[in-house]
Structure 1
Amino acid sequence: MITTARDGDVLVVTLDRPDRRNALTLDGLDALETAVADADAPVVLLRGAGPAFCAGADLDVVADIDPEDAEPFVRQGQRVARNIETADSVVVAGVDGAARGGGVELALACDLRVATDRATFAENGVALGLFGAWGGTVRLPRIVGEGEAMDIALSGRTLDAEDALRTGLVSRIVDDPRTVAQSIAANDERALSVLAARLRDDADAQTQERREAEAFADLLAHADIVGS
């Protein structure tokens, strides 16, 4: 269900269940969490096999969940998304095809999202009487703004790649997301990890500035800089 392959300084993590549009079961969530946590590369590219990125949680699994088990199921998905968000590696979501529900939420947890022109996005759980609960209500407004988040979530509408770019859901439309991951991986590995952590920091401004200064000093102590 989850496969990994090293491509230079990029670890490609593939949601590999194309017959189910890469929908995730409980075991699939655990395997994804392990793959990202065990990554031995400065950059991870998260992608889907076949014509979809990820359809989110497998609806057969969701349909069988008893109400008393719903919260633990959600907590598992939230934990996986949070561990992607705080991974030591820079995690790039390469969306080529449909991202729906939990698939959008996994992409939101990544450090950046790039799309091909075949990508589409929808938080369509509202049509089923549900909503994306793997941290989507937290991350979506933070990334696209509250107004756009309300529109995307409450309408359940489908965004194409251009819509996603306009709203800030993705940062680029590319032919091959792998090229973005490789260009990032060409930079200093230590600086990448530190910079990603600084940009993710949601502490108050004064704390962020203190941590920024400390991180810069630590990097400088290890940097090999030759003056002109």
Structure 2
Amino acid sequence: MIDVETDGSVRIVTIDRPEARNALTPDGLEALETAIDAADEPVIYLQGRGQAFCAGADLNAVSALDGERDQAADFARLGQRVARTIEDAPAVVVAGIDGPARGGGLELALACDVRVGTPDSTYGEPGVRFGLFGAWGGTVRLPRVLGEGDALEFALSGRTVDAEEALRMGLLSRIADDPRTVAAEIAANASDTLAVLKRRIRDDRERATQERREAAAFADLVAAHADDIDAYSSER
């Protein structure tokens, strides 16, 4: 489910489940965490295989929680932990986004240091349509990246935005036909300086309290909307 290769100073981590739009199960999240955590390259390039970046949580896995609140909170905390691993990695993590980035997939991209989308990339938090939201740190990072006003409108509407609007909102750092070139551009710089810059820019961000509340809210909604989640999962 997670493929790893090295290209010079760049570790390329690929979510490799194209038949499910690279949706992540708990096992997939743990494999992604391992791939990020084991990196000793100065730059990590995160991408999805095929025609999607990542559809977020595998809804079959969410449906299998069967409305159990404790299990749902554990699933949210696992996704949050992986997002923290991305955010706290010594390496600079570049998300190369082609096709859809949805829900938890978008939230993993938000944890990356740089987000580069192709002209065909799209972004959305559709869970609100069936009584859910992505709970992998999105309520922490989305307002930080977009500002509170855009974050609220984007999350509450459940709408999808294209690459140009994502760039305008600040969701994307850049649009490029081949996002990997941006990772190579960054990797050409002094690796020790990259690490220091990342740490200084990311310093002093309190998130633990909000993440606990986010996981609890997700668990409540999974319990309340178990039937809706199951129905939506079956339709996809």
Q: Could you say which TM-score interval applies, normalised by the shorter chain?
A: 0.7 to 0.9
Does the residue aligned with 1:121 lie in a helix, a strand or coil? strand
Counterpart of 1:67 in structure 2 is 69
Between the aligned partners of 2:196 and 2:120, the Cα distance in structure 1 is: 33
Q: Tell me, which stretches of 5 or more residues in structure 1 are unaligned? A: 205-228
Output the aligned Cα RMSD.
Answer: 1.0
Between the aligned partners of 1:196 and 1:58, the Cα distance in structure 2 is: 31
Between the aligned partners of 1:28 and 1:203, the Cα distance in structure 2 is: 27
Q: Tell me, which stretches of 5 or more residues in structure 2 are unaligned? A: 207-236
**Residue correspondences, number:** 204
- For 1:64-96, what per-residue CA distance to the aligned partner results, in whole angstroms no more than 9, with x for missing partners? 112221111111110000110000110000101
Counterpart of 2:131 in structure 1 is 129
Between the aligned partners of 2:205 and 2:23, the Cα distance in structure 1 is: 34
Counterpart of 1:29 in structure 2 is 29
Does the residue aligned with 2:12 lie in a helix, a strand or coil? strand
Shift of 1:23: 0.3
Between the aligned partners of 2:139 and 2:28, the Cα distance in structure 1 is: 22
Counterpart of 1:192 in structure 2 is 194
Q: Which runs of 4+ in 1 moved over 6 A?
A: none
Between the aligned partners of 1:79 and 1:69, the Cα distance in structure 2 is: 15
Between the aligned partners of 2:199 and 2:36, the Cα distance in structure 1 is: 16
Candidates 110, 118, 132, aligned match of 1:108: 110
Between the aligned partners of 2:204 and 2:159, the Cα distance in structure 1 is: 29
Between the aligned partners of 2:55 and 2:205, the Cα distance in structure 1 is: 32
Does the residue aligned with 1:53 lie in a helix, a strand or coil? coil
Shift of 1:17: 0.2
TM-score where L is the length of structure 2 = 0.85
Q: Relative to structure 1, is the Cα distance of residues 38 and 117 closer, same or farther in structure 2, using a 3 angstrom cutoff?
A: same
TM-score where L is the length of structure 1 = 0.88
Paired residue type of 1:71? A
- For 1:169-210, what per-residue CA distance to the aligned partner results, in whole angstroms no more than 9, with x for missing partners? 001100101100000000001110111011111369xxxxxx
Q: Map residues 60-209 of structure 1 onto 2, 5 A cutoff.
A: 60-65=60-65, 66-202=68-204
For the pair shown, which has the larger CA radius of gyration, 1 or 2?
1
Shift of 1:101: 0.1
Identity across the alignment (%): 64
Between the aligned partners of 2:201 and 2:64, the Cα distance in structure 1 is: 39
Between the aligned partners of 1:202 and 1:133, the Cα distance in structure 2 is: 22
Does the residue aligned with 1:52 lie in a helix, a strand or coil? coil
Between the aligned partners of 2:205 and 2:26, the Cα distance in structure 1 is: 32
Between the aligned partners of 2:194 and 2:30, the Cα distance in structure 1 is: 26
Bigger RCO of structures 1 and 2 (CA < 8 A, at least 6 apart): 2
- For 1:39-72, what per-residue CA distance to the aligned partner results, in whole angstroms no more than 9, with x for missing partners? 1210000000000000000000000112221111
